[in-house]
Amino acid sequence: MPDYRNLIGGELVPAPRMMDTVNPATGEPWARIPASGAAEAAAAVEAAERAFPSWSALPALARAGYLRKVSEVFGEHAEELARLETRDNGRILRDTLKRDLPGMAYLWQIAAGQCLDAVRGDTVQLGPDALGLTRREPYGVAVCIIPWNSPISTFSAKAAYALAAGNTVVLKPAEQASASVLRLGELLAEVFPPGVLNIVSGLGEEVGDALVRHPGVGKVSLTGSTETGQAITRASADALKPMTFELGGKSPNIVFPDADLDAATLGVTVNSVYTGNAGQVCVAGSRILIHRSIWDEMLGRIERACAELVLGDPLDLATTMGPIVSAAQYERVTSYLELAEKEGARLVFGGRAGAEVVPDLPGGYWVAPTLYTSEDNGLRVCQEEIFGPVAVAIPFETDDEALTIANDSRYGLAAGVWTRDLGRAHRFVRDLRTGTVWVNTFRQMPPGLPFGGVKDSGYGHDAVLEYTREKAAIIKI
């Protein structure tokens, strides 16, 4: 099995302890990654602190040149990185290779173009004898903690903007899926000056906690669960570090009778909660709100669309839905199948898990695409983030009822609205309490637009100005 190492201070550093990483399609270990602890976390922060003065002093256009080199690395190693990520977390190859890697190469180019935005300020004429000005400054060492569902994409969304703003970075990948990011670290060790980018893998409660508490860290950015965000907030309370959190979701996907139902069917199934990463995405539209006048028709359409999904080896380009990432997550998802039955939700299709779902890969963590219906949005399967290919359809009759159900959630990450009524679309964009609203589309997150949540879905977003603080000056003339 290949062994991967941490990137600390420009060097690939072996950890004193290693742990297996498991292919979720087979349930078998395939590589080993560092099981780092507090010592490795501290070493990475200290390396980033040493690199910060020279990196932040670089002219913005010089930093942009480094970021463009990263984009070239993505282009040159796209297939290798895509296959590593698919093997590590089960996200299907047609997504990692055709969608993620090209998109991230483009994102690093976008971030390079925004390096100048991070050094721009304002001037204010305070009177005939005084001038006010502002300047933007990096925080210093930015700790970026990323999840297992899209490691390379989330790595890029954080590190690219943090580096563009003049910060140095310590990145912690999720222990369930670190290999692709650690391999990327090997490649980027040849791009950045030592200590500018550091990558340390290990258990969250050890490495993550040590990083967040380190006094040398100036900024923390997390994409992960709401519970992890709460734990990090508690851990950093004494130091009062600024945070950016993109956390959980229970996104509503609302279908009105005037919608293009062909497009809406794809939008609530293939492009939302089932395919690609088997529903393991924070924005998954796992609450499908359907107008009663089209209730039976839409349920039939969704079932037919899901019947065409191909579950199997995620490295096969014909596969359209992969496995659950780990044994622990598999147990979590399947527990909700049992809970839905106990709560009285009605099973429309699916509800199966284990070897019978993909007999050719009996050791994998497989859950079939599953849909329940419920008249009660208060059920736990309607309120809690399952993070798997499980959705609940809920009927509504009026616009106000749809809005009430959609907003009846502790989460506020995203929502989808399917309608041809322009006035309705704008009203729902205004009144949905979420960070993003998609109208007649879903899961579109282009660089250049903010992405983040409200309520228990977090705050802030990964963009270059989020990684700077503003300083004011008043000059007497």
Q: Which residues are catalytic?
A: 246
Query: Nearest 5 degrees, angle CA 42-CA 151-CA 470?
Result: 60
| Cβ atoms < 10 Å from Cβ of 299 | 18
Taking alpha carbons only, the member of 384, 390, 457 closest to residue 223 is 457
HSE-CB for 242 with a 13 A CA cutoff: 15
Q: How far is CA 99 from CA 75, 106, 155, 287, in A?
A: 13, 11, 15, 25
- Assess contact for 384 and 364: CB atoms under 8 A: no
- How far apart are the C-alpha atoms of 279 and 362, rounded to whole Å? 20
> Which value, to the nearest 10 degrees, does the dihedral of the CA atoms of residues 293, 384, 330, 171 take?
120
Query: Which residues face 370 on adjacent strands?
Result: 390
3-state secondary structure of 231: helix
- How far apart are the C-alpha atoms of 154 and 173, rounded to whole Å? 9
- How far apart are the C-alpha atoms of 29 and 20, rounded to whole Å? 6
HSE-CB for 235 with a 13 A CA cutoff: 21
What is the helix, strand, coil percentage profile of the chain, to 5?
Answer: 40, 25, 40
